């Protein structure tokens, strides 16, 4: 388990505190539509941190060729129809490039700056000429609108209970998912970043924001800085 990350509830828990069974139950939101609207039809997508394939499966259904990467064997074995790669994202070097690299689920907010650099380097290393990186970042109120809860129409409640500073600009976030028959919690470290700090983090690795895909600016298209 990564320092500061923890998960409780039934089934396998990944090193970052996610529960495999929970992610198998969570419905997908607007993510596949946002991605599909931003990239060419049939694009080759490298999905980093795919989990059980919550986004992978709808992307495959929309005709994209997805290579799905995760460090958790328990997550990956639930992915169907995609090429899967078991690896920490930071260490990935497939020796090939993709039209789109997808870094979703707020992974760019990792508390560890070196890991963040590694994640972004992996994105760049796997990008084809003219390709783009799609990044999902936290919304403006992510760490301040607390506690908050959302009752999902499919029958579970997600509560973001707290986000407390633990030093060096990093917060410890605690989230609870309550289903009628089971409850999962996840505690994880996240580094809040203003849009400016986010853009700096990208620039440091040779990427620049090429536009925001959603009004709330949580979905970003990034491209390599021109030489």
Ligand X SMILES: C[S@@+](CC[C@H](N)C(=O)[O-])C[C@H]1O[C@@H](n2cnc3c(N)ncnc32)[C@H](O)[C@@H]1O
Give dist(CA 72, CA 85) in Å, integer. Answer: 10
Q: Which stretch binds ligand X (CB under 6 A): 66-74, 125-133, 145-153, 177-185?
A: 66-74
Q: Which of 5, 7, 18, 137 binds ligand X (CB under 6 A)?
A: 18
> Contact, 24 vs 86, CB < 8 A?
no
| Number of residues located near ligand X, criterion CB under 6 A | 19
- Give whichever of 28 and 146 is closer to ligand X, judged by the CB atom: 28
54 binds ligand X (CB under 6 A): yes
What does residue 57 show for φ and ψ, rounded to 5 degrees? -65, -50
Give dist(CA 33, CA 74) in Å, integer. Answer: 26
89 binds ligand X (CB under 6 A): yes
Q: Which of 51, 131, 192, 224 binds ligand X (CB under 6 A)?
A: 51
Q: Which of 100, 107, 123, 135 binds ligand X (CB under 6 A)?
A: 107
Q: Which stretch binds ligand X (CB under 6 A): 101-109, 150-158, 194-202, 217-225?
A: 101-109
Spell out a b/e string for 158-174, using b for 16 or more CB atoms within 10 Å of the CB, else e: bbbeebeeeeeebbbbb
14 binds ligand X (CB under 6 A): yes
What does residue 40 show for φ and ψ, rounded to 5 degrees? -65, 150
Question: In the beta sheet, which residues pair with residue 44?
Answer: 65
Alpha helix (H) residue ranges in 17-71: 20-25, 31-38, 56-61
Q: Based on the number of CB atoms within 10 Å of its own CB, is 188 exposed (0-12), middle (13-18) or buried (19 or more)? A: buried
In angstroms, what is the minimal distance from the CB of 53 to ligand X?
8
79 binds ligand X (CB under 6 A): no
105 binds ligand X (CB under 6 A): yes
Give the footprint of ligand X on this chain (CB under 6 A).
14, 16, 18, 23, 49-51, 54-55, 70-72, 75, 88-90, 104-105, 107
């Amino acid at each position: 388990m990564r320092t500061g990350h923890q998960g409780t509830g039934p089934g396998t828990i990944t090193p970052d505190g996610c529960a495999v069974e929970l992610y198998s139950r969570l419905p997908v939101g607007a993510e596949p539509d946002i991605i599909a609207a931003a990239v060419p039809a049939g694009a080759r997508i490298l999905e980093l941190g795919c989990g059980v394939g919550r986004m992978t499966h709808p992307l495959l259904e929309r005709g994209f060729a997805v290579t799905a990467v995760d460090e958790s064997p328990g997550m990956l074995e639930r992915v169907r129809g995609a090429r899967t790669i078991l690896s920490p994202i930071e260490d990935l070097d497939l020796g090939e490039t993709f039209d789109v690299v997808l870094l979703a689920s707020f992974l760019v907010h990792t508390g560890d700056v070196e890991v963040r650099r590694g994640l972004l380097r992996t994105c760049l290393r796997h990008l084809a000429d003219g390709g783009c990186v799609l990044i999902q970042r936290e919304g403006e109120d992510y760490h301040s609108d607390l506690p908050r809860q959302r009752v999902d129409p499919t029958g579970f409640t997600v509560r973001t209970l707290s986000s407390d500073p633990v030093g060096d600009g990093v917060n410890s976030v605690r989230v609870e998912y309550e289903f009628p028959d089971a409850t999962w919690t996840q505690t994880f470290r996240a580094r809040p970043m203003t849009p400016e700090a986010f853009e700096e983090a990208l620039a440091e690795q040779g990427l620049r924001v090429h536009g925001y895909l959603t009004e709330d600016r949580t979905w970003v298209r990034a491209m390599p800085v021109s030489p």
